[in-house]
Structure 1
Amino acid sequence: MLNYPDINPVAFEIGPLQLRWYGLMYLIGFATAWLLARYRAGKPGSGWTRQELPDLITYCALGVIIGARVGYVLFYDFFSFISRPWELVMIWQGGMSFHGGLVGVLVCLWLYARKTNRSFFTVSDFVSPLAPLGLMFGRLGNFINSELWGRPTDMPWGMVFPDHASGFVSRHPSQLYQAFLEGLVLFIIIWFFSNQKRPKMAVSGMFCLGYGVFRFIVEFFREPDAHLGFLLMDWMTMGQILCVPLIFVGLTAIVLAYRKK
């Protein structure tokens, strides 16, 4: 059994201003996406120029932040939002939903595609390999915040999280599982899959499928939200319910991409 490391959630502060590790992880994620995009755009025949990337990353960042926060409120904490609506903008406290962020990014990518006279899937196929490492840093931010911990376990790497989870209970560090699977492993799969010429829509479909499967699996080790608990069939969590249509969309997109080809 391991004890959670004593990590100050504030990375540094200047006077009254504080930069928390959670927000810093988002900044690192966007910076990583920008560097990967520069690399891909610089390859011959990419169809992209590096001058286009600041606008593209800005659109994605807005979609992630706004969509993730609104999605969390709608999917996980709607009644608290009704009583305290001002908490919608308090993103530094955590409470960001991947599925809401995905919807936000899709809307912004559609707007960007219209602005640049590209098809939606041309843009989404370019962006999909850039996202997983950002997800990895986001989950590391959850770990530093000591939130979204896992279910009780007697495995030797089980961890006791402070001030949470009903006393000294050893739990799965599910944030790290998610950082590994939904972040690093998914990045490797999507990056190498997209290295080869693929029919339009296939890379986007592979991202949806891969994330949906990995998230569905990790949810078996992650403690359900206390105010929601288990929902469908008394074993599925909200995260798993939201992943089912994502897996279906991913599979459908891949099949249609190759049938069209």
Structure 2
Amino acid sequence: MPFPDISPIALELGPIAIRWYALAYLAGIIIGWRYCMAMAKRLPTGVSAADMDDFMVWAVAGIILGGRLGQVIFYQPGHFLQHPLEIFMVWQGGMAFHGGLLGVIAAMVIYTRRRDIPFFAFTDLIALAAPIGIFFGRIANFINQEHFGRPADVPWAIIFNTDALQVPRHPSQLYEAAMEGLILYLTVAAVAHGTRALRQPGIVTGIFLIGYAIARMIGEFFREPEVFVESLPFATTWGQWLSLPMLAVGLYVLRLGLTRQPVAQPAK
């Protein structure tokens, strides 16, 4: 089937064009931010809503800088060396999740040290909200017709306008939105709300890292490999290789959380 008749431009205000791509990312950030503040008020983490509110700017900087630099370094270093000004053209698309993750982690390390906030108690709340942002990010990828899937003959295969071959493909962005966004959110939310995991900081963070890594590695089987990444062994993709360290760190953090002595629930 042809790609839905969705204009990439959501709104035009004179010479200014606001793209759905930007709005989807903005929605993910704002909803995730408000959700973090609400959870900080409700859940026994020892992290205040004010702490989460003040982190908003740090998070946005980490996502944008890390995501863009990740795209440059991990996927297209040669292209951006030849066209360095395109590094700053974020509105054209091209944000690497693993780079954004590293950017947010760096922001959290600096922020929690400055504010004297328990690091894993803080990351547990961020891990609760992260799948929301990822969901909207994948929807943005779909609207922007980037990171589409491999050729497919399934009834719901889509011919993307940006595909040079013009063949039906898996809408892998939607698969990833479901796995990395919806299913992962339901998983970490069930653990956070249905158990006492938040009293052992690191458990929710570890589950998020493990869950995303597994979901991403599965999604890569349906996603068209980046043409600017050289062939990798065993028919794997660069996204799968980048997810392996994430899986290992997630297992380590989960183990730390499970062996940690439960912290006392803050008095209300």
How far residue 163 of structure 1 moved from its aligned partner, in angstroms, is 3.9
The equivalent residue for 1:174 is 172
Equivalent-residue separation in structure 2 for 1:150 and 1:227 (angstroms):
16
How far residue 256 of structure 1 moved from its aligned partner, in angstroms, is 2.5
The equivalent residue for 2:127 is 128
Q: How many residues align?
A: 258
Of 54-63 and 88-97, more deviation after overlay is shown by: 54-63
TM-score, normalising length from structure 2?
0.92
Map 1:185-224 → 2, pairs under 5 A: 185-195=183-193, 196-198=195-197, 199-224=200-225
For residues 109-146 of structure 1, the C-alpha deviation after alignment (integer angstroms, 9 at most, x for no partner) is 01110121013212111211011010010111110011
Letter in 2 for 1:5: P
Equivalent-residue separation in structure 2 for 1:246 and 1:44 (angstroms):
26
Equivalent-residue separation in structure 2 for 1:151 and 1:123 (angstroms):
38
The equivalent residue for 1:61 is 60
Equivalent-residue separation in structure 2 for 1:122 and 1:115 (angstroms):
15
Equivalent-residue separation in structure 2 for 1:45 and 1:138 (angstroms):
29
The equivalent residue for 2:104 is 105
Equivalent-residue separation in structure 2 for 1:123 and 1:129 (angstroms):
10
For residues 142-188 of structure 1, the C-alpha deviation after alignment (integer angstroms, 9 at most, x for no partner) is 10011111011111111111241413x11100000011110111111
Letter in 2 for 1:197: R
Is residue 40–residue 46 contact of structure 1 (8 Å, CA) maintained in 2?
Answer: no
> Percent identical across equivalent pairs?
40
Map 1:1-261 → 2, pairs under 5 A: 2-43=1-42, 45-167=44-166, 169-195=167-193, 196-198=195-197, 199-228=200-229, 230-233=231-234, 235-261=235-261
Q: Helix, strand or coil for the counterpart of 1:158?
A: coil
Is residue 151–residue 171 contact of structure 1 (8 Å, CA) maintained in 2?
Answer: yes
Equivalent-residue separation in structure 1 for 2:44 and 2:240 (angstroms):
39
How far residue 17 of structure 1 moved from its aligned partner, in angstroms, is 1.2
How far residue 254 of structure 1 moved from its aligned partner, in angstroms, is 1.1
Of 117-126 and 100-109, more deviation after overlay is shown by: 117-126
Is residue 124–residue 204 contact of structure 1 (8 Å, CA) maintained in 2?
Answer: yes
How far residue 242 of structure 1 moved from its aligned partner, in angstroms, is 0.3
Letter in 1 for 2:161: P
Is residue 12–residue 18 contact of structure 1 (8 Å, CA) maintained in 2?
Answer: yes
**Cα RMSD (Å):** 1.4
TM-score, normalising length from structure 1?
0.95
The equivalent residue for 2:264 is none
For residues 83-104 of structure 1, the C-alpha deviation after alignment (integer angstroms, 9 at most, x for no partner) is 1111111111110000000000
Equivalent-residue separation in structure 2 for 1:129 and 1:44 (angstroms):
11
Of 27-36 and 210-219, more deviation after overlay is shown by: 27-36
The equivalent residue for 2:265 is none
Is residue 47–residue 122 contact of structure 2 (8 Å, CA) maintained in 1?
Answer: no
1:41/1:97 Cα in 2 relative to 1: closer, same or farther (>3 Å)?
A: same
